[in-house]
């Protein structure tokens, strides 16, 4: 499976100068995974 972006903060890029970007991850289990795969966020 490839990486799928679930959420971005577009307003932050418009309102502020972004110098560095970072990636973070979470480990989801159970119904959380199912909801995200179906696109229900």
pLDDT at 33 over 60: yes
The model scores a pTM over 0.85: no
Q: Which residue has the higher pLDDT, 40 or 21?
A: 21
Q: Copy the structure tokens of residue 30.
A: 């159970």
Q: Quick one: which of 36, 6, 38 has its CA closest to 23? A: 6
Q: What is the dihedral of CA 18, 11, 9, 5, to 10 degrees?
A: -100
Reported as a single tens digit per residue, the pLDDT across 20-32 is: 888 887 777 777 7
| Number of residues in the chain | 41
The radius of gyration computed from the CA coordinates of the chain, to the nearest angstrom, equals 13
Reported as a single tens digit per residue, the pLDDT across 3-26 is: 777 777 788 777 888 788 888 877
């Amino acid at each position: 499976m490839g990486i799928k972006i679930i959420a971005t903060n577009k307003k932050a890029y418009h309102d502020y100068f972004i110098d560095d970007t970072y990636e973070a991850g979470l480990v989801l289990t159970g119904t959380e995974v199912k909801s995200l795969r179906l696109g229900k966020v």
